[in-house]
Structure 1
Amino acid sequence: MSQSGAPALGTVTTEVPARLDRLPWSRWHWMIVIGLGTVWILDGLEVTVVGNIASRLSEDGSGLPISAAEVTGAAAAIYVAGACSGALFFGWLTDRFGRKKLFLVTLAVYLIATALTALSYTVWWFCVFRFFTGFGIGGEYAAINSAIDELIPSKYRGRVDLIINGSFWLGAMAGALLSVLALNTSIFPKDVGWRLTFALGVVLGFVILLVRRHVPESPRWMFIHGHDEGAEEIVSGAERQIEQETGKKLPEPGGSITIEQHRSIGFVEIAKTLFRVYPKRATLGFSLFIGQAFLYNAITFGFGAILVNFFDVSSGSTGYYFAAIAFGNFLGPLLLGRLFDTVGRRPMIAGTYIVSGLLLFLTAWFFNEGWLDATTMTVCWAVVLFFASAGASSAYLTVSEIFPMETRAMAIAFFYAIGTAAGGISGPLLFASLTDSGVVGDAVIAFCVGASLMVAAGVVAVFFAVAAEGRSLEDIATPLSVRK
């Protein structure tokens, strides 16, 4: 340690990456998945609840003077703006100060902001704390995805990352069904039920915070930033636990790397790495995030309005339909995730993007011809999103594994922010007006915009996707700190 209390820096040779990658699946890994992955359930709950209770919030007696368009348009865009800002802010801090510190802080921000959202009595209060709720969730994307990829063995990384990101839709299912209960005025008054939905998010988040305290820091981050002894202790502890669990001695690690330790990497160095050293990978990241953001906004931000305006579904029942859509979304990563590790990243990323886009074009055609009712429209959406969900989850996997260790959290944050801002801020503002107009042609346009960008992203993946399956993170992208 230096006199300032910071660890002394030097040049170290370490087997930590190889030791982590050769570990068999164990209870230690389940602890990581549960502690870190469950936050996507909260995100799904947050996004879905607001969409489903929009009609109730806009009614007289809700306790909040806001219109449905303001909830699904302006307030949704403000939430996404907060998520983008939080991703960039906390992404930089995550690469600088470590994964664990930040995934505790970001969850705390979410908890406080969600609790204060439940207390909203004015539009400005609701919007301010929707921004900070998104701010915390956005920070989670950078801190959590980087930590997960650095702790999970290489042969499981694809499927685990996809399933964890796909768990968003378990939260969406819960939010959809919870909204049905909250909107039932025979159980809760108009001005109480929607507040309880936000309060439930606080309770779930607090439980996750308690579990997350036991998740270790990323040893990969630690040895680069001068904490090589701590990294050694974490990995050795995991190895002992796994050997006791399996009753077998672990094989020898496959190799080592020599690292020149440092405290932080500047923004200029990060930008040069992303756009000068890896321009094709940067193009891929942009394309995947923008494509999935527009496709999802084309469907999810307007699904309730379409069901109500075109199929005469009551606003209190839309949650049942969305629960079915969410279930299809979760099944995609769950059933297709393993193929990203076996068939390979490039064919699966390109395939899921292109197939989902083409299926949405087909859905738009059926809808335009008047061949669908509320049930068959929901089935079409569920099939589209079965493939799209696996593709969208692979976007997070992709940007978290194709750039060097020192830039990982910031890379995730940057592409998430740019793609989500393009699709998630402009998307709700564009699609809310199209799907709420009551004109079939307008909704068809919304579908076709999302489908076109999804197919285009899939084509980019055909040429630029990286064959990262089964490879160590250090092999996919050499750390900037490696001494050659």
Structure 2
Amino acid sequence: MPVTAPRPGTVTTAIPARLDRLPWSRWHWTIVFGLGTVWILDGLEVTVVGNIAGRLSEPGSGLPISSGQVTGIAAALYVAGACAGALFWGRLTDRYGRKKLFMITLAVYLGATALTAVSFSTWWFFLFRFFTGFGIGGEYAAINSAIDELIPANYRGRVDLIINGSFWVGAVGGALLSIVALNTDLLPKDVGWRLTFALGVVLGLVILLVRRNVPESPRWLLIHGREQEAEEVVSGIERQIEAQRGESLPRAEREITIHQRESIGFGEIAHTVFNRYRKRSVLGFSLFIGQAFLYNAITFGFGAILTKFFDVPTGNTGYYFVVIAVGNFLGPLLLGKLFDTVGRRVMISSTYLLSGLLLFVTAWLFGRGSLNADTLTACWCAVLFFASAGASSAYLTVSEVFPMETRAMSIAFFYALGTATGGISGPLLFADLTNTGRIGDTVLAFQIGAGLMCAAGLVAALLAVKAERRSLEDIATPLTAATAQATP
């Protein structure tokens, strides 16, 4: 369907509806692999750092650093970098486009990771942990906004959840790699951990090559006065899918009129998010803070808990983490479709509440001395099966319930605030609680995470938006939209 322009600066188009009515195709798999696989790298790197903390603190590692500095200061700096990067790159993503920024942020991430691998001093390691986070924070904003704008409405929920959950595929790889890196029969102490970072860089370069084939978001192009480019992108996608299926696609049902603007002021963005969509803002904050504290309650203390309370050797904690990581990925993989069929409100609230309640039960069993290393890991796995789907839905929620012009910045803001609250204070709080060796302190850590997760679930039960199988423009009308009407 051709794009018409009733007057200069205004365009009436069915492009959003044309994107949403597309059937799933090989082209959509290109989007998933080109944009989503970076979370695998993130999971690999974060897990490696946590699992090799003990080795880095040993004499001969090549770094004068303690295990506490790796899991405390370095982890907090990584998260601080991610929060700062999300805000910095998120604003640029809304202004200059999804593709330009997701290429730049991946390059920053890879460069910082490579420089981490050649760390020769503690300050150098800390500095590039911050800049690695700075790059990945931008990825969260650019990637999630691009994915939501390119994936059809009927599949958006499950695809978003699985892509965000793929972090844990990388976590499995990171845990297994750390086992190799900790084996001094295979690699010297000062070489193994460096090679794991270098491998992440190689995999990232492959993703960068695939990502070059991902187009700019047609929705972003429309709003910024580049409707001809948007038409070319969508027409090209339609031709590929029609050739693949051997039949014509049905006509799109809706048109929307856009008053094009080159940029949207930050004041207008803030007013839209915090005044016009105040309840949705409360929902976003609650979901991010709840999942951040729950994950910190478990993941930043799991190694110390296993070694202190169950005498698991440091070199074997990676095997337990593999089990936890598998449970994390299976949650979004198996439950993702239900977010598009059963619905957002039921699934978001239930995954948050179930994970919180299960962690309360785990805390009670742990406090009674009823668990061993294997059964505690099984309990964690059950908790995180639901928590991972819930945490992934937090990114889905803030990326689809605010207007197109604010999407990347909204993702960045809620991620930064929620993660700063739980991801910076969390490691410092929970590391202290789980490292004391006192059962009561670890129980308290579990209860804090569980309580905040349950609270977020109750907020979702009241405020979650019915966004399943709906167009982004229907969920939140673009700030530049004039009218939306059915195509005759």
Instruction: State if a TM-score over 0.5 links the two structures.
Output: yes
State yes or no: 1:105 paired with 2:124.
no
Within 2, Cα distance between the matches of 1:345 and 1:277?
21
Within 2, Cα distance between the matches of 1:133 and 1:9?
43
Deviations 1:167-207 (A, max 9, x none): 00000000001000100000001111111111111111111
What is residue 457 of structure 2 aligned with on the other side?
A: 458
Counterpart code for 1:70:
Q
Counterpart code for 1:246:
R
What is residue 4 of structure 1 aligned with on the other side?
A: none
Within 2, Cα distance between the matches of 1:73 and 1:437?
15
Counterpart code for 2:395:
Y
Counterpart code for 1:310:
F
Map residues 139-288 of structure 1 onto 2, 5 A cutoff.
139-288=138-287
Within 2, Cα distance between the matches of 1:403 and 1:409?
10
Counterpart code for 1:105:
I
Map residues 390-401 of structure 1 onto 2, 5 A cutoff.
390-401=389-400
Within 2, Cα distance between the matches of 1:425 and 1:68?
17
What is residue 422 of structure 1 aligned with on the other side?
A: 421
Give 1:446 deviation, angstroms: 0.7
Within 2, Cα distance between the matches of 1:241 and 1:110?
32
What is residue 68 of structure 1 aligned with on the other side?
A: 67
Verify the 8 A CA contact 1:118 1:196 in the aligned structure 2: yes
Verify the 8 A CA contact 1:78 1:127 in the aligned structure 2: yes
Question: Using a 3 Å threshold, how does the CA distance of structure 1 residues 67 and 9 change in structure 2: closer, same or farther?
Answer: farther
Within 2, Cα distance between the matches of 1:12 and 1:306?
59
Within 2, Cα distance between the matches of 1:189 and 1:304?
23
Choose 323-332 or 63-72, whichever is displaced more.
Answer: 63-72
SS of corresponding position for 2:257 = strand
Give 1:480 deviation, angstroms: 0.1
Deviations 1:394-430 (A, max 9, x none): 0000000000000000000000000000000000011
Within 2, Cα distance between the matches of 1:47 and 1:299?
15
Counterpart code for 1:387:
F
What is residue 135 of structure 1 aligned with on the other side?
A: 134
What is residue 95 of structure 1 aligned with on the other side?
A: 94
Counterpart code for 1:474:
E
Counterpart code for 1:130:
R
Within 2, Cα distance between the matches of 1:456 and 1:51?
28
What is residue 3 of structure 2 aligned with on the other side?
A: none
Within 2, Cα distance between the matches of 1:9 and 1:463?
43
SS of corresponding position for 1:42 = helix
Question: Cα RMSD over matched residues?
Answer: 0.8
Counterpart code for 1:275:
F
What is residue 35 of structure 1 aligned with on the other side?
A: 34
What is residue 299 of structure 1 aligned with on the other side?
A: 298
State yes or no: 1:336 paired with 2:296.
no
Within 1, Cα distance between the matches of 2:231 and 2:417?
36
Give 1:266 deviation, angstroms: 1.4
Counterpart code for 2:113:
T
Deviations 1:248-306 (A, max 9, x none): 11000011000000111111111100011000000000000000000001111111111
Within 1, Cα distance between the matches of 2:244 and 2:63?
54
SS of corresponding position for 1:251 = coil
What is residue 472 of structure 1 aligned with on the other side?
A: 471
Verify the 8 A CA contact 1:9 1:225 in the aligned structure 2: no
What is residue 362 of structure 2 aligned with on the other side?
A: 363
Which runs of no fewer than 5 residues in structure 2 stay unpaired?
A: 1-6, 484-488
Which runs of no fewer than 5 residues in structure 1 stay unpaired?
A: 1-7
Within 1, Cα distance between the matches of 2:203 and 2:311?
34
SS of corresponding position for 2:190 = helix
State yes or no: 1:354 paired with 2:353.
yes
Within 2, Cα distance between the matches of 1:250 and 1:29?
16
Counterpart code for 2:154:
K
Counterpart code for 1:41:
I
Verify the 8 A CA contact 1:9 1:226 in the aligned structure 2: no
Within 1, Cα distance between the matches of 2:76 and 2:18?
43
Equivalent pairs, count: 477
Deviations 1:195-224 (A, max 9, x none): 111111111111100110000110000010
State yes or no: 1:54 paired with 2:53.
yes
Verify the 8 A CA contact 1:9 1:262 in the aligned structure 2: no
Within 1, Cα distance between the matches of 2:299 and 2:247?
48
Within 1, Cα distance between the matches of 2:78 and 2:236?
40
Give 1:464 deviation, angstroms: 0.4
Within 2, Cα distance between the matches of 1:266 and 1:385?
39
SS of corresponding position for 1:256 = strand
What is residue 83 of structure 2 aligned with on the other side?
A: 84
What is residue 383 of structure 2 aligned with on the other side?
A: 384
State yes or no: 1:323 paired with 2:322.
yes
Within 2, Cα distance between the matches of 1:175 and 1:264?
41
Within 2, Cα distance between the matches of 1:56 and 1:259?
57
State yes or no: 1:372 paired with 2:346.
no
SS of corresponding position for 1:438 = coil
Within 2, Cα distance between the matches of 1:350 and 1:384?
14
Verify the 8 A CA contact 1:401 1:476 in the aligned structure 2: yes
What is residue 486 of structure 2 aligned with on the other side?
A: none
Give 1:483 deviation, angstroms: 1.4
Deviations 1:365-414 (A, max 9, x none): 11111111111111110100000000000000000000000000000000
Within 2, Cα distance between the matches of 1:205 and 1:370?
44
Deviations 1:296-344 (A, max 9, x none): 0111111111111111111111111000000000000000000000000
Within 2, Cα distance between the matches of 1:136 and 1:64?
24
SS of corresponding position for 1:176 = helix
Give 1:438 deviation, angstroms: 1.0
What is residue 24 of structure 1 aligned with on the other side?
A: 23
State yes or no: 1:118 paired with 2:103.
no
Within 2, Cα distance between the matches of 1:304 and 1:214?
40
Within 1, Cα distance between the matches of 2:253 and 2:436?
60
Counterpart code for 2:203:
L
Verify the 8 A CA contact 1:13 1:256 in the aligned structure 2: yes
Give 1:9 deviation, angstroms: 6.6
Percent identity reads 75
SS of corresponding position for 1:262 = coil
